Amino acid sequence: MKVLKKIKARIGLSHKQGLICPPGQPLEFHPIHGDNVQLTQGNTIAARVESFCKAVVFTHRPVRINEKVFIRFVEKSESWSGSIRFGFSAVDPRQLSGNLPKYACPDLTNKPGFWAKALAEKFAEKDSVMYYYVTSSGDVVFGVNGEDKGVFFSGVDTRRQLWGLVDVYGNSNVIELVDPRRSLNNMLSNQAPKSPAPQRIQAPRIPEPRLRRSESCGRIPNYVESSYYGSKRLARAAFHRGCVGQNVSLNQTASIATRTDTEFCNGYVFLDSPLQPGESLVIRVLETESTYIGSLAFGLTGADPRNLTSSSLPEDSELLLQRPEYWVLSKDVLANPHSGDEICFTLGLDGAVLCSINNGPDRVIFHSDISIPTRPFIDIYGVAQRIQLLGVAPASHPTSHTPTIRRSVRPSKASPRPKSCSPQSLPSLDISQDSGMVQNECVICYESDVDCVLYSCGHMCMCFSCAVQQFNSSGECPLCRATIRDVIRTYRA
């Protein structure tokens, strides 16, 4: 009996199924599947017959460690969004008969013994062939059209029998289990005339500027062409190489940042130098991924990237506000990005950060404290997956940036006019030359020293008493008009 068990185990006998599955047997789909699935071609093709859900399928036998599951995308619908979810199940599909949920994620993955994740839609083009397998360490690796894409997710318990699991979801409405013994290269070459392998979206080509003959041999200007901001002279800039998000890679010139295909967060990049008041930063979206939601986050920080580590940057950029350094940001600055979109961020002399899309109207996304040097950072999050730093436009002449923000509370008694302010002090006050105001005076009463800081804009411009009154009245910072969330008392050493 013991010898028989060893023989059965060696040839792959599943005791629960009562079927002998030789190691070389091609994979088929299990007869237990979702209500909206129809199996054909010897149970190798699974088609979703209606709607976009209730289409979970399994392999008819357990798969082995490092055994590749090949899937060809037979048909692609344009009526839905998203693509297949795939992974593994440690539960025998027969135990799920009549009890399969609508979705693999999260209905099954929230239960023990199931592991799956959504495939990016760009990998699921018609006639493309993907494969995936699990390693002995529990890492699930996948590839497309013969090219390895790396680890898709981890944490699979390989001590148990594992069935392949696929949710025929979204636009991937017909899939086929391909026999790995067939030549993948031959199969792809036969399909090539019908549908070439998907290519990465490239940046839109911009015509080279026409040079006069006398200029053609001169020095190439240190400027970058922009489709929408051609009137701005964009000086070349680069992302900081010292620290980037865990899922980001930079090209050789550090001007293009790409988030990993299979991840949606931790896409942080920092400018290689601080942004001065009046300067503008322009970026271009090169590639998007519609499988995800959310988009770019833009912010300014007083932190030096050389003192940061990739592992210390959170998945949610809003958690940066809890760090000890100065951070201010706005999420989803571009709700629905498309390839070729250009975004211009301008740090005004009054601390207002303006955002413009494709040379459209400016809108204020947040206010920053310009009394300290700050460096721009971007979180390439969600839909946006690849961006290009076009450059930085220098500040215009100061007269074109005269601050227009008015103080919401006027002094209660006559007082001398404030002296002129540089961008590093108080740019939002009236600019004048005949003033005797000391920089440390409260801008409301002009009598007491500044002894508090406003949260969350960070301005230190009032005494504690006036700040509390301002908080209870208009509730806005008199410098940048940002909402006062709290008044924090400060003390000198």
Of 378-387, 432-441, 453-462, the range with the highest mean pLDDT is: 378-387
Kindly state whether residues 35 and 179 are assigned to the same domain: yes
Kindly state whether residues 94 and 175 are assigned to the same domain: yes
Kindly state whether residues 159 and 25 are assigned to the same domain: yes
Average pLDDT, the chain: 78
* Residue 269 confidence (pLDDT) above 90: yes
Kindly state whether residues 412 and 438 are assigned to the same domain: yes
Confidence of residue 187 (pLDDT cuts 50, 70, 90): very low
Backbone angles phi, psi at 360, to 5 degrees: -80, -170
* Residue 348 confidence (pLDDT) above 70: yes
Kindly state whether residues 93 and 167 are assigned to the same domain: yes
Is residue 30 in some structural domain? yes
Asked which of 345, 376, 398 is the last residue of a domain, the reply is: 398
As a whole-number percent, the residues of the chain with pLDDT over 90 amount to 40
* Residue 114 confidence (pLDDT) above 90: yes
pLDDT at 24: 57
- Summarised one tens digit per residue, pLDDT across range 303-314 is 999 999 999 999
Confidence of residue 364 (pLDDT cuts 50, 70, 90): very high
Is residue 243 in some structural domain? no
Is residue 120 in some structural domain? yes
Asked which of 371, 398, 425 is the last residue of a domain, the reply is: 398
* Residue 201 confidence (pLDDT) above 90: no
Q: What is the mean pLDDT of residues 297-301?
A: 94
Look at the chain and report how many structural domains it folds into: 3
Q: What is the mean pLDDT of residues 31-49?
A: 93
Residues 440, 441, 442: CA angle, nearest 5 degrees = 120
pLDDT at 182: 52
We report the CATH number of the domain holding residue 85 as 2.60.120.920
Kindly state whether residues 375 and 289 are assigned to the same domain: yes
pLDDT at 3: 45
Instruction: Answer for the pair 404, 426: CB distance below 8 angstroms, yes or no.
Output: no
pLDDT at 192: 43
Q: What is the mean pLDDT of residues 319-325?
A: 90
Asked which of 378, 398, 418 is the last residue of a domain, the reply is: 398
Instruction: Answer for the pair 367, 477: CB distance below 8 angstroms, yes or no.
Output: yes
Of 57-66, 222-231, 327-336, the range with the highest mean pLDDT is: 57-66
Higher pLDDT, 51 or 460: 460
Q: Tell me the whole-structure pTM to 2 decimals.
A: 0.46
- Summarised one tens digit per residue, pLDDT across range 140-151 is 999 998 888 888
pLDDT at 362: 92
**What distance separates the 2 farthest-apart alpha carbons in the chain?**
105
Higher pLDDT, 19 or 48: 48
- Summarised one tens digit per residue, pLDDT across range 402-454 is 333 333 333 333 333 333 333 333 333 333 333 333 458 888 888 888 999 88
Is residue 339 in some structural domain? yes
Is residue 447 in some structural domain? yes
As a whole-number percent, the residues of the chain with pLDDT over 70 amount to 77
Kindly state whether residues 39 and 163 are assigned to the same domain: yes
Kindly state whether residues 422 and 387 are assigned to the same domain: no
Is residue 212 in some structural domain? no
Amino acid occupying residue 231: S
Is residue 289 in some structural domain? yes
The range of the structural domain enclosing residue 272 comes to: 248-398
Confidence of residue 337 (pLDDT cuts 50, 70, 90): confident
Q: What is the mean pLDDT of residues 179-192?
A: 49
Is residue 223 in some structural domain? no
Confidence of residue 209 (pLDDT cuts 50, 70, 90): very low
Kindly state whether residues 358 and 411 are assigned to the same domain: no
Kindly state whether residues 388 and 417 are assigned to the same domain: no
* Residue 199 confidence (pLDDT) above 90: no
We report the CATH number of the domain holding residue 468 as 3.30.40.10
Kindly state whether residues 294 and 330 are assigned to the same domain: yes
Kindly state whether residues 262 and 371 are assigned to the same domain: yes
Q: What is the mean pLDDT of residues 335-341?
A: 86
